[in-house]
Structure 1
Amino acid sequence: MAPIDSDDSTTAGQGAEPRAGRRRAARYVVPVAVMGVAAATIGLVPALADSGDPDLPEVTAQQLIEKIARSDVQQLSGTVRISTDLGLPDLGGLESGLMSGMSGGPGAGGGDDEGSSADPSAKLTELVTGTHTLRVAADGPDRQKLSLLEDAAEYSLIHDGKDVWGYDSKSNEVYHSTTQDGAERPAEKAPATPKDFTEQALKAVDDTTSVTVDGTAQVAGRDAYRLVIKPRQSGSTVGAISVAVDAKTGMPLKFTLTPSGGGAAVVDAGFTRVSFSKPDASTFDFTPPKGAKVTEGDEMPETPERKQKPKSDGGLAEELGGLKVVGEGWNAIAAFDTGGQGLPTASAGGDLGGFLGSFGDQVKGDFGSGTVFKTRLVNALITDDGKVYAGAVTKDALVKAAEAAK
């Protein structure tokens, strides 16, 4: 299947050019968003395999990007299959506990104050590994529903007007907040659909990126163009991003991120069924079931993460000890100083230090020594003196960044 735009590429220079700083920051956000959710969320799944190559009018990559930008689908319902293969070690569920603890959800406080199992900031972290099936529905900006289907159970997140409800049928627990409360909880807006992932990926497009249209496909019974995004630079762990774009509406129907190291996709999210008709109004109705434990968002236990507020002049950068983005393009690396808090050593951290270190590679250089923790997409170097370097780059790139900082 020959590409429609064979060797021609589109860059951000052909459209509105975002500021350099925002481009570099966006490139760090893309893999982190994927890793933190969802990163959210995907191994090619047979049910998502493209079928047929529909005959569609030729378009350029720039025209297809503009079509995505103009897409304004307000009403839809469907099923999304989402798989994530970051190559994380099997910690027997420990990784989910760690991530939910970071977000202030269950496991963050322990005991009776550990929060609600229906809190979206904790529940949606389950999308970080494995394959999941989601049912999604939307009727304008004020009514959305996402249901995570599990074995003999279901988790639903419903936004209806000012109310945000989370319901975990397994534990019969309910989480409730208003949109004002929910606006401060970014995990509730974690990427879960092809459109969410595509919006993040397009923020990373600049002159270090090749963007082409590589033929057509059919996804969930709909004709689509295939947009392919690739880093021009070596050293990135991102191999390519492929987006199936609905030919009629411009909405992304499938998102696939493959690593430069080869193998199955790191993230693969796509509709297996989709309709752009108005969902029934009852789809968004929710009343807490009888006997359910209801937790209000403003009653959640206070944790350091929930107490944090953006600083007036530094925001996230100030909170993380002066977050800096070093390097260019897809080789950008986020660097910050934890203030000397490196990994526990054998003497200081006992078994914990050895346990954490066993999942990483020990490295040494002019910067000192440290540990590199690797996934198939995002890698991070934590030096013994508490400096952190992270990005969708290789281990060698992280070590070089630490060397250059000395």
Structure 2
Amino acid sequence: MATEVKVPTLGESITEATLGQWLKQPGEAVAADEPIASLETDKVSVEVNAPVAGVMGAQAVAEGDTVEVGAVIAQIEAGSASTAATPAAENRTAVGQAEAAAPAEPASAPADADAQLTLSPAVRRAVLEHQVDPSKIKGTGKDGRLTKDDVIAAAGQTKPAPAAPASAPATTPSAAPREGSRREERVRMTRLRQTVARRLKEAQNTAAMLTTYNDVDMTAVIEARTRYKDLFEKKHGIRLGFMGFFTKAACLALKDVPAVNASIEGDEIVYRDYADISVAVSAPQGLVVPVIRDAQDLSFAGVEKTIADFGKRAKDGTLKMEEMRGGTFTISNGGVFGSLLSSPIINPPQSAVLGLHRIEDRPVVRNGQIVARPMMYLALSYDHRLIDGREAVTFLVRIKEAIEDPMRLLVDL
């Protein structure tokens, strides 16, 4: 008797996804609640778990296909792997997977072989790109799973596969291209990348977007971090970073300039007395923006722990969709990649985004003397339909004042 595997509910307003990768192939044993496939939604990757234990049966869709919520994508057959291996192989051929299927593992295969069957889409792409054997790589992710960094590190220690035998004809079409030859590769855009592209273009088309700039002297914050970082980490178990200062500074500035924290809905303006701060973090499949809920009520430690957790789970691909909904204001730190200055794009339906950049020593005038100071450029992109230039400048000045005099964060100035 076969049990159908259906696309689970993916969240509010999400009706379809792309089947990113089959984690189990027909004929392989499956445990109840074991991941058998990964789906790529507009925001994150979601694993589909087996509803019952048994053997992976027919796969109704291929990798890259679009599937709707509730659609049947596979079947789980009753019995053991040996009883269903032959028909399962036929099913695999039917959906175009035969060319990518690996030979069946012997019964004595090491335990690591199971880990490679649950590779995330990003890790699987890295494995194919670097041509390494995932079963020989020790994973550092959750439950020993491989991460993209594990694959890249292993690739750096592994010599490339030997070239084709010398006896092969030089004119063989499959021969490797000569060194220095020109090549092109076409890769289908992930659903996340398509959604990001669409939303960013919609923001440009809809909002009257304008960017205002300022710079900030980071001396006081750097000194505070240097002085308290060890005590902070010892007490809270987390490092004291710059994002904690900027998040708390943004909460104060949003309180003073509420229009920056508002949004336009129809012919109405929605003002908020809370700050749900979206923080842009990098994930293998692209940039994601999880939300720090009620950031105005969190301590520095609370902010830093939340951001660190987001960063780790974004890397592992385990962020939840509800964690990326409902932000009221975004902070994007391009400085971690070395950016000197940029104009960030608004994340709709929000009305503003703060861009942070790299810190570098620059000459500035202090008390009539030219001195070197660690300076950072700030950029505030905003919807001019709602936020006036005066309000945008005032907001950036509030950020600047709080960072250059962190005591303001403690006494609510």
TM-score (norm 2): 0.21
More strand by share: 1
Answer 1 or 2: which has greater helix percent.
Answer: 2
- TM-score under structure 1 length normalisation: 0.21
